[in-house]
């Protein structure tokens, strides 16, 4: 990643954009223009993410120049820790760079923690070239299909400390209760639990013990999933470094993989989350996961840093 030629911030004022995908909301910062040092970022992220004293969000994502892709997504959880990938976040990054004219194509690439992902946008246009809502004839991105790459099931690559060549339907004990989990990395670690009564589960009571379980050296995201039918599942997620969120794109991908491996769904499945729905498809011939879902801008503003 190179620094790029950015505009200097005026007296400690930083511009930001609040965006959300299925209710998974982040504060987005244009790293092409705003220059924040690596040392400043963890504390800044914690302050901006606070829903009472800051802007509020599940974390902060910096959108930076890149030498290997059209842009870089630099993602932080709400607690200031770095994360490798965010499916809802990367869709919003794609919308941001297209709508802002940083990228002028409807197909392009975004890199996050060394992983290059391919974006394909659905663009909504207006026939009125003066219509600022839709950038005139150019339009705005309303939906993004992302090639999320191949799911990783090898335990040491997730990482999860279990035996065998795949962490599929393996036991985990939390608060003296045994669960069965399938562990998947979509660039970040996930533990998927198939269960009943997911809507009524007390995730705040059990989520932290899954996240910080000794089996996960880098902590984990945990998905609790109820199968509705072969094309539709419901999922709630406890995200590493943030807590329960309304959605998790990589978690939806991991959920689909776990359900397909268990023989519970078809290879294309709608994952319903508290904030909406994502369509996940596993092309098993190519071993590629495709995620399709919305991305929305909520508001823009300035904040002192």
**Residues identified as active-site:** 86, 248
Task: Find the helix or strand (DSSP H, E) in which 286 lies.
Answer: none
Token pair belonging to 79: 């607690």
Cα 293 to Cα 77, 91, 160, 273, 296, distances in angstroms: 21, 8, 29, 12, 10
Token pair belonging to 186: 């979509």
Token pair belonging to 93: 């990054």
Q: 91 with 146: CB under 8 angstroms?
A: yes
Pairing mode, strands 177-185 and 189-194: antiparallel
Question: Helix, strand or coil for residue 253?
Answer: helix
Q: 121 with 132: CB under 8 angstroms?
A: no
- Contacts of residue 200, defined as CB under 8 A and 6 or more positions apart, other chains included, come to none
DSSP code for 52: T
Distance CA 149, CA 288 (A): 5
Task: Find the helix or strand (DSSP H, E) in which 119 lies.
Answer: strand 115-124
């Amino acid at each position: 990643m190179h620094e790029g030629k950015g505009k200097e911030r005026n007296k400690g004022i930083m511009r930001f954009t609040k965006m959300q995908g299925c209710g998974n909301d982040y504060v987005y910062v244009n790293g092409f223009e705003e220059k924040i040092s690596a040392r400043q970022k963890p504390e800044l992220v914690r302050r901006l993410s606070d829903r009472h004293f800051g802007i509020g969000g599940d974390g902060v994502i910096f959108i930076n120049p890149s030498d290997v892709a059209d842009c870089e997504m630099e993602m932080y959880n709400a607690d200031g820790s770095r994360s490798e990938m965010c499916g809802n976040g990367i869709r919003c990054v794609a919308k941001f760079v297209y709508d802002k004219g940083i990228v002028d194509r409807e197909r392009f690439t975004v890199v996050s923690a060394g992983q290059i992902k391919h974006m394909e946008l659905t663009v909504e246009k207006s026939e009125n070239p003066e219509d600022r809502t839709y950038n005139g004839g150019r339009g705005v991105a309303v939906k993004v299909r992302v090639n999320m790459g191949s799911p990783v099931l090898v335990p040491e690559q997730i990482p999860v400390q279990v035996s065998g060549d795949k962490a599929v339907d393996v036991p985990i004990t939390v608060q003296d209760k045994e669960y069965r989990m399938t562990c998947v990395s979509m660039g970040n670690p996930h533990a998927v639990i198939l269960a009943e009564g997911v809507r009524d589960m007390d995730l705040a009571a059990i989520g932290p013990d899954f996240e910080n379980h000794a089996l996960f050296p880098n902590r984990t995201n945990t998905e609790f999933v109820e199968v509705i039918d072969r094309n539709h599942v419901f999922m709630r997620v406890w995200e590493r470094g943030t807590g329960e969120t309304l959605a998790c794109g990589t978690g939806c991908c991991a959920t689909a993989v776990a359900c397909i491996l268990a023989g519970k769904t078809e290879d294309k499945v709608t994952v319903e989350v508290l904030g909406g729905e994502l369509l996940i498809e596993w092309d098993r011939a190519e071993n590629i996961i495709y995620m399709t879902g919305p991305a929305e801008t909520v508001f823009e503003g300035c904040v002192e840093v």
